[in-house]
Amino acid sequence: MSDPQNSEIRGLLDREYAYGFVTDVDEDRIPAGLDEDVVRLISRKKDEPQWLLDWRLKAFNRFLQMLDEETEPTWAKVDYPAIDYQAISYYSAPKPKAELESLGEVDPELLRTYEKLGIPISEQKRLSGVAVDAVFDSVSVATTYKEELEKQGIIFCSFSEAVQRCPEIIQKYLGSVVPYSDNFFATLNSAVFSDGSFAYIPKGVRCPMELSTYFRINAAGTGQFERTLLIADEGSYVSYLEGCTAPMRDENQLHAAVVELVALDDAEIKYSTVQNWYPGDKDGVGGIYNFVTKRGACRGRRSKISWTQVETGSAITWKYPSCILQGDDSVGAFYSVAMTNHRQQADTGTKMLHIGKNTRSTIVSKGISAGHGEQSYRGLVRIGRGAENARNHSQCDSLLLGDRAGAHTFPYLETLNPSAIVEHEATTSKIGEDQLFYCMQRGLSEEDAVSLIVNGFCKEVLRELPMEFAVEAQNLLGLSLEGSVG
Amino acid sequence: MAKGATKTPILELRDVHAEAGGTEILAGLSLRVGAGEVHAVMGPNGSGKSTLANVLAGRPSVHVTEGEVLFDGQDLTALSPEERAREGIFLAFQYPVEIPGVANMVFLKTAANALRKHRGEPELDAMDFLALLRDKAKLVDMDDKLMQRAVNEGFSGGEKKRNEILQMAILEPRLAVLDETDSGLDIDALRSVADGVNSLRNADRSMLVITHYQRLLDHIEPDHVHVLAGGRIVRSGGKELALELEERGYGWIENTTAQEARPG
C-alpha cells in the first residue's frame, strides 16, 4: 500500500493474457513474400471470378507504387520499426484433416480452440442468440445459424463463400466504401485479403439475432488480412459484433483489415468490436499491429450507423471507424473505449463526413492510459457545403493511471456550411487516491475499486454494447462487477 | 481505572504518534472506547482530528510511527483499509468523494456485498438490496432519485452527508468514525443526519464523533467527551465538558494544558 497509484496499476496490468495459447494444426501456407504470383495464388485458392482477381491486381500495382513512394502513413502518433512486407506470409489456413467425414465438418482441434476462447461453434454448444462466423488465420472455419437466418433471406457467411453465392452483390459493393486505393493498409488488404465475413439483410428485415465474427490469429510469421462487408437493405436492422485474439509471441504480427458497411434508406447497422489482440509483453516485445480501415456509408435517407469499440489489445492500434453521412437525415455514432498499458500505443478515433442535409453525428471517446501507454484520439468532423443543419457533438475524455502514461487529443474540424452546429468537449483526469481510498474504506479491494472507477468512466460507451459483449468488455477492462453496466 | 474504560474496549489507542507529509501530527494520543459507547472528540483546527480519523481508517498518506492501535484487541495498523472496513470500521468522510459514472446504488450494493462476503453471508441480489436500501433511506430522509445518480456527483452538502450516514446504516459497522459530519450543514440537515445517527446507536456499535463545534452534540449525545490539542487528548470528561468548552473556547484548554505541562 505504499504507493497505491503504482500497486493498483500492477494488479490490473500484470494480469496474464488469457488467450495466448497456440493451436497445433497443420497449415496450408504460402511462403513469406509478396509478388503478383502470391496475389494470383490467393485468388486461385478461393476459386475467384476474373473480375475479383483483376481488382486485386489493380490494388497490388497501386500498393507497389505506394511502397515506392513511401506513402506508409507516418502522421499517427505511434512508433514502430519499419515493416518488411516481404517477410510476411500472406496466407495460412488450417489443413482439413483427411479423416473428416463430410465437408461441413470442422476439425475437432479447431472446435476445442473456439471453446477455449469462450465462443463454442459446434452445433450442440453454439451460443444462443448469436450467430458466429469463426475466422482462423486466413480462412473462415465455421458459421453458425446459417440456415436459420436464410429462412428470413439473411445471408451470413464467410466472404469467400459469398463471392461464390452472390457475386453480383459483392461486385456492386466491394470497394464502394473503402476503394482499393484508399490508403496504404487498405490497398495492401485489397490485394491480399483472404477471408472475412459477409452479411446481407434484405428489405424490411430485422435480423433476429446478433451476427458476429471471431477473428483468431494462430500461425506464426503471418499477417491477417480479412475483409468484412455488411449490407443493410432498406428498412432493415442488424447488430454485428466482432472479437479478436492471438497467441503470445515475441514477433509482431500485422493485422490489416478492411470493413465496409452500407446502410440504405431507413436501415440501421450497429457494429461493435471487442478487440483483444495480444498486446505484447510488459517491455513491449511482441504483439499485434492492428492497422485497420473501417468505414460505413449511410447511403439512404434516415439511415443509421453506429460504431462501438472496446480496444484493449494490440501493441499498436491505428484505426478510425468512420461514417459517410450521405443520405439526408442520416445519423452516425462512434463510441470508443481504448485502453493502453505497458508499452502499448493507440492512435484511434473517427471521421464523420456530413454530406446530406440534417445529418447528425455523435462521438464519445474514452481513453485509459496506464504504465508507459501512449494514446491519441484523432477525429475529423467535416461538414460539407450541402449539409444544411448538420449537427455534431464530440466528447473525448482521458483517464490516466500513474504518471508515465500519455494521453493526447487531435480534433480536426472542417465546416463548409454556416448552418452547422459542432461541439467538442475534452477532459483529462487521473484516478485519484481519494477515490480509491473512499472505495476501499467501504470494503472494496484496490483492484475492484480501480475497476469500479474505470467502469464508471467508460459507462457511456459500455452501455452501447450488446449484452453478450458488455460482460466480456467489462472483464477485459478488469471489471468484475455485476450489474454495473447499463 | 480512568473514566470511559469501564467496559472491554473495542478500540484502544496507546501513545500513538502519526505523521503525514513528514510532519508529526499525532503526538502520543491515547484513547479507549468501549462497546456501544459514543465518544466525542473535539478540538481546534490543526489539533489532529482528521488525522485520528485517517489513522483508524488507514489512509495511505498517514503513517503511525509509534504506539499501538488496537481494534478488538488486534493490531489495526497491520490491516489494509478494505480489511479494516470488512472488520467493521466505518468512516463517514468530512469530504465525501465523487465517482462519476458509478450509480450510487451500484456502489452501495458493491460495498454491502464485499462486507457480506467477508462475513461468509450470501450476497444480496438486486431485489433484496433494493428493499434494504429503501428501508434504510428512510432513516436519513434521503430522496430515491439520489440512488440512480453517480456517487456524490452534484449532491448538495447535506445530501453528501446523508449519503454517508445511509452507507453506515447499510454497512452496519461496529465502530463508526464521524469526521466533522456537521460541517457545511444547515440546521434541518443537521437534525436529520443526527436522527439517522441516533437511530443507529446500539449496544454493539461504538461511535467516535469528531467535531469542532458543540452543536452536533446537542443532537447526538455522547457518553464521553475528549479534547484534542497538539495531537494528544488533553482533557476527558462527560457531556458537560463540551458545554464548558463551548462557553470558554479552545483557548481555555490550551492555556490550562500549557500550565499543566510546566515542570514542578
The complex scores an ipTM of 0.94
Closest CA to A239 of A455, A482, A458, A469: A469
Q: β-pairing, B74-75 with B175-179? A: unpaired
Q: What is the pLDDT of residue A475?
A: 63
Q: Kindly report which listed range (A320-334, A409-423, B235-249) carries the lowest average pLDDT score.
A: B235-249
B111 Cα to chain A: minimum distance (Å): 6
Q: Mean of the pLDDT values across residues A259-282?
A: 89
What would the grid cell of residue B184 be?
457545511
The answer to whether the beta carbons of residues A251 and A221 sit under 8 Å apart is yes
Pick the more confident residue, A341 or A7.
Answer: A341
How does residue A469 score in pLDDT terms, banded at 50, 70 and 90? low
Alpha carbon distance A9, A401 (integer Å): 7
Q: Which amino acid is at A349?
A: G
B187-190 contact pairs (CB < 8 A, 24+): B189/B157, B189/B158, B189/B161, B189/B162, B190/B215, B190/B216, B190/B219
Q: What is the pLDDT of residue A253?
A: 84
- pLDDT score of A3 more than 90: no
Closest CA to A280 of A20, A34, A89: A20
- pLDDT score of B4 more than 70: no
Q: Kindly report which listed range (A262-266, A368-372, B20-24) carries the lowest average pLDDT score.
A: A368-372
Alpha carbon distance A352, A331 (integer Å): 10
Asked if the Cβ–Cβ distance from A442 to B99 is below 8 Å, we say no
What would the grid cell of residue A93 be?
489456413
Alpha carbon distance A409, A400 (integer Å): 13
Asked if the Cβ–Cβ distance from A484 to B126 is below 8 Å, we say no
Q: Mean of the pLDDT values across residues A330-350?
A: 91
Residues 415-474 of A with CB under 8 A from B: 432-435, 437-446, 448, 452-453, 455-460
Q: Kindly state whether B61 is in contact with chain A, defined as any CB-CB distance less than 8 angstroms.
A: yes
Q: pLDDT tens digit string along A274-284?
A: 877 777 777 87
Q: Which of B80, B99, B114 faces A453 most closely, judged by CB atoms? A: B99
What would the grid cell of residue B65 be?
510511527
Asked if the Cβ–Cβ distance from B114 to A439 is below 8 Å, we say no
- pLDDT score of B264 more than 50: no
Q: What is the pLDDT of residue A481?
A: 24
**Kind plus residue range of the DSSP H or E element containing A461:** helix A446-462
Closest CA to B164 of B154, B176, B175: B176
Q: Which of B61, B93, B100 faces A438 most closely, judged by CB atoms? A: B93
A485 Cα to chain B: minimum distance (Å): 9
Using CB atoms within 10 Å of the CB of residue B1, give its burial: 0 to 12 exposed, 13 to 18 middle, 19+ buried.
Answer: exposed
Alpha carbon distance A13, A282 (integer Å): 9
- pLDDT score of A483 more than 70: no
Q: pLDDT tens digit string along A451-463?
A: 888 888 888 888 8
Q: Kindly state whether B167 is in contact with chain A, defined as any CB-CB distance less than 8 angstroms.
A: yes
CA B181 distance to own-chain centroid: 8
Q: Kindly state whether B150 is in contact with chain A, defined as any CB-CB distance less than 8 angstroms.
A: yes
What letter does residue A51 receive in the DSSP assignment? Answer: H
Print burial letters for A315-346: b (CB count within 10 Å at least 16), e (below 16): bbbbbbbbbbbbbbbbbbbbbbbbbbbbbbbb
Handedness of CA B164, B99, B54, B205 (dihedral sign): positive
Q: pLDDT tens digit string along A103-126?
A: 567 777 777 777 777 777 776 667
Q: pLDDT tens digit string along B54-96?
A: 999 999 999 999 999 999 999 999 999 999 999 999 999 999 9
Q: Which amino acid is at A405?
A: A
Q: Which of A444, A460, A484 faces B82 most closely, judged by CB atoms? A: A444
- Quote the percentage of chain A above a pLDDT of 70: 88
Q: Kindly state whether A480 is in contact with chain B, defined as any CB-CB distance less than 8 angstroms.
A: no
- pLDDT score of A8 more than 50: no
Q: pLDDT tens digit string along B251-262?
A: 887 676 655 544
- pLDDT score of A486 more than 50: no
The answer to whether the beta carbons of residues A470 and A485 sit under 8 Å apart is yes
- pLDDT score of A479 more than 70: no
- pLDDT score of B24 more than 60: yes
Q: Which amino acid is at A320?
A: Y
Q: Kindly state whether B86 is in contact with chain A, defined as any CB-CB distance less than 8 angstroms.
A: yes
- The segment with the largest mean pLDDT, out of A103-107, A255-259, A261-265, is A261-265
What would the grid cell of residue A234 be?
432498406
Q: Kindly state whether A6 is in contact with chain B, defined as any CB-CB distance less than 8 angstroms.
A: no
- pLDDT score of A485 more than 90: no
Asked if the Cβ–Cβ distance from A4 to B60 is below 8 Å, we say yes
Print burial letters for B171-191: b (CB count within 10 Å at least 16), e (below 16): bbbbbbbbbbbbeebeeebbe
Q: Kindly report which listed range (A89-103, A395-409, B113-127) carries the lowest average pLDDT score.
A: A89-103
What would the grid cell of residue A394 be?
464530440
Q: β-pairing, A27-29 with A139-143? A: unpaired
Residue of B nearest to A4 (CA): B60
Alpha carbon distance A435, B59 (integer Å): 11
Q: What is the pLDDT of residue A15?
A: 57
